[in-house]
Amino acid sequence: MRKLFGTDGVRGTANIHPMTAEMALRIGAAVGRYFRRDGTGVHRVVIGKDTRLSGYMFENALTAGLTSTGMNVLLLGPVPTPAVGLMTRSMRADLGVMISASHNPSEDNGIKFFGPDGFKLSDGAEMEIEALVEAGVEPAQAVNIGRAKRIDDARFRYGERVKSSLPRNLGLNGLKVVIDCANGAAHRTAPEVLWELGAEVIPVGVAPDGLNINRGCGSTHPQAAAEAVVAHGAHVGICLDGDADRVILIDETGTVADGDQLMALLASRWADEGLLTGGALVATVMSNLGLERFLEGKGLGLERTSVGDRYVVERMREGGFNLGGEQSGHIVMSDYATTGDGLMAGLHFLAAMVQTGRKASELAHQFETVPQRLRNVKFQAGQVPLEDARVQDAIAAAEKMLDGQGRLLIRKSGTEPLVRVMAESEDAEVMTLAVDSVVAAVEAAVAE
C-alpha cells in the first residue's frame, strides 16, 4: 500500500505531513536517486509550479534534495502542468516535477512527477520511490552535487506548442472569449495565446497573490466566468483550474458544460474525420451514462477506468487510443500532449466553433445527461469509514434499490480526505434515497 502517493502525486495541506519542507527534501533526494540509479553521466530534472504561496518553499526544498543526489535542476517557474510534461521531453530531462494541488484551495499543495517520456509515473515507480523515502538515500560526493538554473521562456515554449495543435490557417478572429485562469499557473499564458490567435479576450482570475488560487473562480467555481460571458456578450467562456490541466466550458447563455460534453464533441468530430484511433473514447467510472449512450449511437466505444487522468492515460497507451478524459474537465489528446491540457482542449472547442459556424450552446450540448447525484463526506486522518459494517450494509441496500434502474459508485478521493458517493438513475427519487442513505451511514461512522 502506498502511504505518500495518491491518485495524482503527493498532496496535502502545506506545512502538515506529508506536505512539509523536510518531506519535500526527502522526496526530492529519493526521486533523484531513483532516476540516477546508474550514478553516471549528466542527469537533469525540470520543475514547474503554480501560483500558491507554498510553491516557493517546495521548489527550494525539492531543488535541495535533487541536487544533493547529483541532479541538475531546471526551474520553469509558474507554468501549467502539461507544460512540465512537454518540457521534460523536449529538454531531454530524466524527470519532470510539477508543484501544484490542481483545483484544491491555496493552503493545499502537491507534487506530481513525470518520467523522461513526459508521462506521469506508474504506481510501481511511485512505490519504489516511497521505499527510498522511507529508507533514506546516500547523497552524492561534494564534487558531484547538481546545479540549478532558471529557464525564463518556458511558458512561451508551451504556448507555441498549444497553438501548433490547431490547423495553421485557423484563427479566432471575431470570437469574444472569457478566459478564467483561476488565479493559477496559466494566468499569463492562456490570455496571451488566445489574443495571439485573434480572439477578443476578457480575462478573469488573472491576478494571483499566492492565496487566491481557485478561490471563487476557475473550473470548480465557474459562476464568475458565466456572469462575465453574459455581461460582456461573449461567444464562449473557458474555465481552467489552478494548474490548467482541466477545462469547463460556458456557452453564450452562461450555461456550464463539463468534460463529458466536450469529449463527446471531440470524439464525434474526430471519428467523422478519421482521426479517432481505436474507435473509442477513454473515460472514468464517473462519466455520465448519457455519454456512453451517445457514443454507442455513433458506433463508438467507451473504455472506463478508475478515477484519475493518470489511469485514463495508461489505458489510452495500452489500447492505442488518442482521446480520453474525465467529467471534471481533464481532456487528454495524446497526439499533442502527455496529460490533461485545459487550454489546448478549450482551443479545440473554439476551433469547432470557427469551422462549423455554430454557437457554443449547440456544440456544448451533445447529449442528454442521465441524472446524477454526488455528495462528499469529509473524514479525519486515520478513519476508514468504508470499512464500517453499517456503511457496507447501507451500500448493499442502495445497490439493491438501484438494481436495474441505475448505478452506484462509492470511492475514497485520492486527492482529498473525502468519501464520494455518486448515483445515476432516471428515477430521481430512488437515486436521491440511495445516495442520502449511504451518506448518512458514512457520516455516522465518521462522527464516532
Helices of type H across 91-164: 123-135, 154-163
d(CA 179, CA 361) in angstroms, rounded, equals: 17
Q: Is 102 a catalytic residue?
A: yes
pLDDT for residue 41: 73
Over residues 86-108, the pLDDT tens digits come to: 999 999 999 999 999 999 999 99
The closest of 292, 290, 293, 288 to 303, measured between CA atoms, is 292
d(CA 212, CA 136) in angstroms, rounded, equals: 36
DSSP 371: P
Cis peptide before 82 (omega within 30 of 0): no
State the average pLDDT over residues 57-80. 97
Burial class (CB in 10 A: 0-12, 13-18, 19+), 200: middle
pLDDT for residue 39: 62
- DSSP SS3 for 316: helix
Report the mean per-residue pLDDT for the chain.
95
Say if CB 146 and CB 71 are below 8 A apart.
Answer: yes
Domain residue spans of the chain: 5-152, 166-253, 259-343, 372-447
- C-alpha distance from residue 298 to each of 173, 186, 258, 361, 407 (Å): 32, 35, 20, 21, 23
Range scoring the smallest mean pLDDT among 265-274, 400-409, 424-433:
400-409
Say if CB 332 and CB 340 are below 8 A apart.
Answer: yes
Domain 372-447 CATH (choose: 3.30.565.10, 3.30.2290.10, 3.40.228.10, 3.30.310.50): 3.30.310.50
pLDDT for residue 382: 85
Per-residue pLDDT band at 405 (split at 50, 70, 90):
confident
* pLDDT over 70 percentage in the chain: 99
Say if CB 323 and CB 313 are below 8 A apart.
Answer: no
- DSSP SS3 for 352: helix
Fold of 259-343: Alpha-D-Glucose-1,6-Bisphosphate; Chain A, domain 3 (3.40.120)
pLDDT for residue 1: 65
pLDDT for residue 337: 97
Per-residue pLDDT band at 404 (split at 50, 70, 90):
confident
Q: Which CATH architecture has domain 5-152?
A: 3-Layer(aba) Sandwich (3.40)
Helix (H) or strand (E) holding 194: helix 189-196
Strands 256-257 and 280-284, bridge-based pairing: unpaired
Whether residue 415 has pLDDT greater than 80: no
Domains 166-253 and 372-447 alike in fold:
no
Over residues 341-355, the pLDDT tens digits come to: 999 999 999 999 999
Which one of the listed residues 68, 100, 102, 328 is annotated catalytic?
Answer: 102
d(CA 68, CA 253) in angstroms, rounded, equals: 54
Range scoring the smallest mean pLDDT among 36-40, 74-78, 148-152, 188-192:
36-40
Whether residue 125 has pLDDT greater than 90: yes
pLDDT for residue 200: 98
The closest of 310, 338, 314, 321 to 93, measured between CA atoms, is 338
Say if CB 100 and CB 50 are below 8 A apart.
Answer: yes
Whether residue 448 has pLDDT greater than 90: no
Strand order in the sheet with 148-150: 5-6, 9-13, 108-114, 95-99, 44-49, 72-78, 148-150
Helix (H) or strand (E) holding 68: helix 55-68
* pLDDT over 90 percentage in the chain: 92
Per-residue pLDDT band at 38 (split at 50, 70, 90):
low
* Higher per-residue confidence, 65 vs 39: 65
Strand order in the sheet with 418-425: 372-378, 418-425, 406-412
pTM for this entry: 0.91
Over residues 312-344, the pLDDT tens digits come to: 999 999 999 999 999 999 999 999 999 999 999
Strands 301-305 and 280-284, bridge-based pairing: parallel
Domain 166-253 has CATH 3.30.750.24: no
pLDDT for residue 391: 96
